[in-house]
Structure formats: C-alpha cells, structure tokens
Amino acid sequence: MTTATRTTAEADAMRRALELAERGPATGVNPRVGCVILSPDGEVIADGWHRGAGTAHAEVDALDALDPGAARGATAIVTLEPCNHVGRTGPCARALVDAGIARVVYAVADPGPHSAGGAQTLRDAGVDVESGVLADEVEALLEDWLFAARERRPRITVKWASSLDGRVAAADGTSRWITGDHARADVHRRRAAADAIAVGAGTVLADDPALTARDDHGALLEDQPVPVVFGRRPLPEGAALRSHPREPILLAGGDLGADLEELQRRGIRSLFVEEARRSRPRSWPRASSTNCSSTSLPPSSAGLEPRSATSASRPSPTRHDCASPTSCASATTCSSSPGRRTPRPPPQEGRDMFTGIIEELGRVTRVEPRADVVRVTVHGPKVVDGVRHGDSIAVSGVCLTVVDSDAESFSADVMAQTLAMSTLDTVAIDRAVNLERAALVGDRLGGHIVQGHIDGTGEVLQVTPGEAWSVVRFSLPAPLAPLVVDKGSIAVDGVSLTVSAIGDDPDGSWFEVSLIPETLAATTLGTLEAGDRVNLETDVLARHVQRMLRLDTHRALPSSLAEPGGPGSGFSAGDAAPASDSASTTIGGDR
C-alpha cells in the first residue's frame, strides 16, 4: 500500500469511527468514542463504539468482533487516544498491544489524569502511533466532555430568550415562551443533550419550571437532564420539579466554584443554564468563566420589554451574545479558557477556505425544516462534480457541508444559528445562490481569503447602473464598520470584491463596490435591488488586527511590537485600547 493510499484509507476510517462514536450516549461521564480496525492492506475488518460507562470501550468492542489472532499486524483507528488505565474496564492500550495491533491512529489525546498516556504505552510496546487525524471534528463532537476533562468542571451553556428587538418578557410578566416553535424545539434538544439543567431557586419560586426535555407534543424525550437548583430556599411542596424523572440536585449557590466541583464529582459534564425571564445572564458567565451563551430568536416581539437599557435600542438579531470576559470567540464558537485550544465551529459550519470567485449560479430546489436544522438542496451540476459527503461548498458566502448529493444537486443542513446570522433565514425554492467549492492547495487565489463564516448582513442602499459597470452601495452594521477599508476586500454573498468607497453617515456606515459585467452576469449580485439583504464577510486579516488590538498588547504581541510606539508598531498604547468593547459584538468579542 502506498503512503497516499494508506492516508486516504485511514482518513476514511476515521470518518467512519466518528460516525460510530455518534451512536454513543451524548451525556454521561464517558466520552463518545468510535473505532475501526483496518487490515494491513487497508480493508475494514471490524468496528465498534462505546455505549456508555461500564460497557466495553470502542477499541475492545471492535477487537471483540474479530477471531483470535485476526488483529495481528492491523491498524486501529480511534477517535480518542486509547486509555491507559483500569477504570470500570481495562486499559485499551494494553488490549490493542495484546491483540497484535501494529499501528494506532487517533484523533484527540485523552486529557484524563488517570486515563491519559495510552499513546506512550503503545509506542513503548513497538506500536506505530499517529495522532491528530480529524482532530477538529472529534473536538467538536466531544466539546463538552473534553472541556470538563480539561477544566475539571462541567461545561456550561447559558440560554436566555430574546426577541428580535432585544426584549425578554412581556411587561406584565405573563409571557413564558416568547420564542417560536423552532427555538423552543432547539431548547428542548439542548436540554436533552445536557447532563444537567440549572436554575436559581428564585426562578423555581417564580416560574415553577418543569425542567424536562419534551417533544413538540409535550411528551418527555428519552434523555432527561438532572435538574439542579442553586439557592437556599426549599423546593415548594407542589413544585413541578418534584415530578421530574431525575432526582434534583440542590446546591447552596454561595460558592459557584465549589458547586461546580460538586457537580463534576457527581458526574455532570455539561450544564445547561436557563436564565430568569427578566434578566440577561450576567452572574453565571462572569463567576465561572462560562464558555458559552446563546440567544433564541422569536418571530415577534409585541408586548415585550427591553432586555437591558444598553442593548434594547439596536440589538443585532444575528449575534451569539457572550457575557463572559474570557469566553466567546466568535458568532459560532465558544472557547474554554485562556490558553486552551478553542473548539472550532461544529462540522456543519464547514471550515475550509474559499477565494470568493463564484463557480456557478445555483438554484435552491428544496427547503426542508428538520428538528434543529433546515436541509437545503441546491441545483449546481458544476460544483457537485466529484463532490463527496463532508465536502464544503459556500452557498452565497455561507460555508455548508454536503450531506447528500447526486449528479445535479447537493443537500446541506443549515443550523438555526447560521440561518439567523445570514440571508439563508429566508431561503426559499427557486432562490438563486452563488456557489463555490472549497479551494484546493495550488488553486489560483483569484479573489481573497474567504472563510465562509458570515459576520452579518447588509442591505442594498442604492444601485447606480453605469454603461457597463454598476456601483452598489450597501449598509454596514456598526460592528463591521472598522473592519472595512477603502480598496480593501470584502465578500458579499460569497463574492470577493474590492471596496471602492466607504462612508459613515449619521444613519450608519456604508460601503460601495463597482461590479464589472462578468460579476453582474455570473453571480446573484447582478439582480440586486435597493432593500435586498446580502451576506457580509469581512477580511480575516482585518479581524485578526482588531483582535490583536483588543488584547493586552504586552501579552499578545512580540516584544518588538509590544512597546507603545515601538519598532514597527505603528500605533501607540492609547490607540490599542478600543473605545468600546461590547461583549455582545460578534467580531472579536472574546474578551
């Protein structure tokens, strides 16, 4: 087998192992792990996955499917480093060695203090070991578990509901669910995917929440989070929580660090926090370096009161708010803590690179709302040529992962948050879309580096047709304004464009681009009219610079750059501190 063939076979096997891992339980103390065993010539001879604490680990599950001796000289592909300890089961590293496995490829290292070290044990036994294959995908799958294992405390997700105009509850306090069916279903899905769900005692007294995960008809879902109540006030006799299928955990709430340790000790790895109706989450993230918070977007806001004095006037419905000073890394990503690896966006988001040169004008042929995503099918015979499941295609600038395809079309799932952040929120059959496949190494970089991660949407303010060219003016959301410069690059609906003018009017910022006939004919930009919305992605370089300026320059920059006005710095320390550092901004909002 050539090295290239082996690499391909192993990457394919890791993809399969990842799929197998997903069959395991998403909650609980043990991670979801999958394993595929390849014969020396690259054929799949066995596979397995972990079904939860106390059952066989994925590697042993796979080995058990083989006759004695059949694994000799084989390669084990595992999503997590084989464990090295005796826990509820024996050490996988030893089981692999004993079975005669010659090579092990794993995605992510096991951070467990007792279980880590399997790779070394394997190497010491003469096994060839490689790591890091599909590491980002596995990091995304095991986000909660890895966070908890690394930080020794549960990963917290804070949820609060807010209307599109930034309101949280009816003025008379009557509204319980201000969000629509889609957002509500999303919340119940998140509840079911968490080990525990927490509220304050005040919320229990005021709202009497059931804290169960339910389907559209109110029936209990199979997985139920353990309810956790913080506060000293006792649970009222008739509290709905007393009928919860899981025994509630009651914690004093005075020392959050100690409470989180206690939850970790009790096997809670992910904690879903539902905020009280009338407030945005503040104490949670700050007190605990919470990794993530999220908003739900309801369809209407009538009768609801502003969620805060500062954010009520112009909240952005597109953002993923983050109230923690150290947490939210971008609109779609939540980080752990400083110095830790930042989990990338989930796989559906895609994380390839594009150039902003549109390959084909596609047409939406099907829009299928599902539980927590919308499956969109797009006719695009050119871009589906050779496309495979898992490949990325930018659809009007939004990087999507192909989940299905035929000779003419492909389908991709768009997450609720991506819908909310882009013009895909109004995607409909027959909509024309700009299509570009992910760039390959060696491609000509005709446009600029485009990531397919939308920063926000703009509106067409004016189209000025010329003899051949058209000049189009777009509104620019305030957080994006500093990132757009005259003659700089911007992607509009996925099209790489040079900014020909910028301006900041009292009504807001704007930018203009001049569109050549080729762009007008070959992309959706040719049909734009005043009032149309477009997806905007600012230049990644500008975002990096903004991020650097927001960080403590002495920490973040090489010493030659860190001194105020130092060699090559081009700015003073005073310049480096941004005037406003709103944690709710999507761009660089990770302070």
Ligand X SMILES: Nc1nc(O)c(N)c(N[C@@H]2O[C@H](COP(=O)(O)O)[C@@H](O)[C@H]2O)n1
Q: How far is the CB of 451 from ligand X (least distance, A)?
A: 32
- Decide the pairing of beta strands 249-251 and 226-230: parallel
Q: Which one, 142 or 374, has the nearer CB to ligand X?
A: 142
For ligand X, the binding residue among 71, 101, 104, 115 (CB under 6 A) is: 115
Q: Which one, 50 or 344, has the nearer CB to ligand X?
A: 50
Q: Which one, 141 or 364, has the nearer CB to ligand X?
A: 141
Q: Does 198 bind ligand X (CB under 6 A)?
A: no
Q: Does 259 bind ligand X (CB under 6 A)?
A: no
Q: Does 311 bind ligand X (CB under 6 A)?
A: no
**E strands present in 336-477:** 360-369, 373-379, 392-395, 398-405, 409-415, 432-437, 456-465, 470-476
The burial of 590, by beta-carbon neighbours within 10 Å (0-12 exposed, 13-18 middle, 19 or more buried), is given as buried
Q: Does 50 bind ligand X (CB under 6 A)?
A: yes
Q: Which one, 76 or 557, has the nearer CB to ligand X?
A: 76
Q: Which one, 88 or 282, has the nearer CB to ligand X?
A: 88
Tokens of 220: 């209990």
Q: Does 30 bind ligand X (CB under 6 A)?
A: yes
Tokens of 38: 């390849």
SS3 267: coil
Tokens of 264: 């970790």
Q: Which one, 110 or 144, has the nearer CB to ligand X?
A: 110
Closest CA to 185 of 318, 24, 301, 298: 298
Q: How far is the CB of 576 from ligand X (least distance, A)?
A: 42
Q: Which one, 137 or 360, has the nearer CB to ligand X?
A: 137
Q: Does 269 bind ligand X (CB under 6 A)?
A: no
Q: How far is the CB of 150 from ligand X (least distance, A)?
A: 12
Q: How far is the CB of 72 from ligand X (least distance, A)?
A: 21
Q: Does 475 bind ligand X (CB under 6 A)?
A: no
Q: Which one, 59 or 349, has the nearer CB to ligand X?
A: 59
Q: How far is the CB of 95 from ligand X (least distance, A)?
A: 10
Q: What is the DSSP string of 454-484?
A: --EEEEEEEEEE-SS-EEEEEEE-GGGGGG-
Q: Does 477 bind ligand X (CB under 6 A)?
A: no
Interaction residues for ligand X, span 219-248 (CB under 6 A): none
Q: Which one, 81 or 436, has the nearer CB to ligand X?
A: 81
Helices and strands (H and E) in the chain: how many: 16, 25
Rounded Cα gap, residues 398 and 412, in angstroms: 11
Q: Which one, 110 or 137, has the nearer CB to ligand X?
A: 110
Phi, psi of 258 (to 5 degrees): -65, -40
Q: How far is the CB of 31 from ligand X (least distance, A)?
A: 5
Q: Is residue 27 within 8 Å of residue 189, measured between CB atoms? A: no
Q: How far is the CB of 92 from ligand X (least distance, A)?
A: 5
The number of residues that bind ligand X (CB under 6 A) is 19
Q: How far is the CB of 343 from ligand X (least distance, A)?
A: 18
Rounded Cα gap, residues 191 and 189, in angstroms: 5
**Helix (H) / strand (E) containing 18:** helix 3-21
Q: How far is the CB of 153 from ligand X (least distance, A)?
A: 15
Give buried/exposed letters for 229-259 (b at 16+ CB in 10 A, else e).
bbbeeebeeebbbeebebebbbbebeebeeb
Closest CA to 369 of 212, 180, 495, 556: 180
Q: Which one, 17 or 193, has the nearer CB to ligand X?
A: 17
Q: Which one, 58 or 185, has the nearer CB to ligand X?
A: 58
Q: Which residue is nearest to ligand X (CB)?
A: 87
Q: Which one, 91 or 200, has the nearer CB to ligand X?
A: 91
Only one of the segments 50-58, 128-136, 465-473, 499-507 lies at the binding site for ligand X (rule: CB under 6 A); that segment is 50-58
The burial of 368, by beta-carbon neighbours within 10 Å (0-12 exposed, 13-18 middle, 19 or more buried), is given as exposed
Q: How far is the CB of 133 from ligand X (least distance, A)?
A: 14
**E strands present in 240-333:** 249-251, 270-274, 292-296, 304-306
Q: Is residue 470 within 8 Å of residue 464, measured between CB atoms? A: yes
Tokens of 102: 């010659």
Q: How far is the CB of 307 from ligand X (least distance, A)?
A: 39
Q: Does 112 bind ligand X (CB under 6 A)?
A: yes
Phi, psi of 393 (to 5 degrees): -135, 130
Q: How far is the CB of 221 from ligand X (least distance, A)?
A: 24
Q: What is the DSSP string of 421-432?
A: HSGGGG--TT-E
Q: Does 110 bind ligand X (CB under 6 A)?
A: yes
- Decide the pairing of beta strands 249-251 and 508-515: unpaired
**E strands present in 1-73:** 34-38, 44-49
Q: How far is the CB of 64 from ligand X (least distance, A)?
A: 12
Only one of the segments 51-59, 206-214, 393-401, 410-418 lies at the binding site for ligand X (rule: CB under 6 A); that segment is 51-59
Phi, psi of 327 (to 5 degrees): -115, -70
Give buried/exposed letters for 332-347 (b at 16+ CB in 10 A, else e).
bbbbbeeeeeebbbbb
Q: Does 268 bind ligand X (CB under 6 A)?
A: no
Tokens of 326: 């150290």
Q: Does 36 bind ligand X (CB under 6 A)?
A: no
Q: Which one, 142 or 513, has the nearer CB to ligand X?
A: 142
For ligand X, the binding residue among 33, 101, 127, 557 (CB under 6 A) is: 33
Q: Does 53 bind ligand X (CB under 6 A)?
A: yes
- Eight-class DSSP state of 314: S
Only one of the segments 26-34, 62-70, 303-311, 511-519 lies at the binding site for ligand X (rule: CB under 6 A); that segment is 26-34
Per-residue binding letters, 74-93, with ligand X (x by CB under 6 A): ----x-x-xx---xxx--x-
Per-residue binding letters, 403-432, with ligand X (x by CB under 6 A): ------------------------------
Residues that bind ligand X (CB under 6 A): 30-31, 33, 50, 53, 57-59, 78, 80, 82-83, 87-89, 92, 110, 112, 115
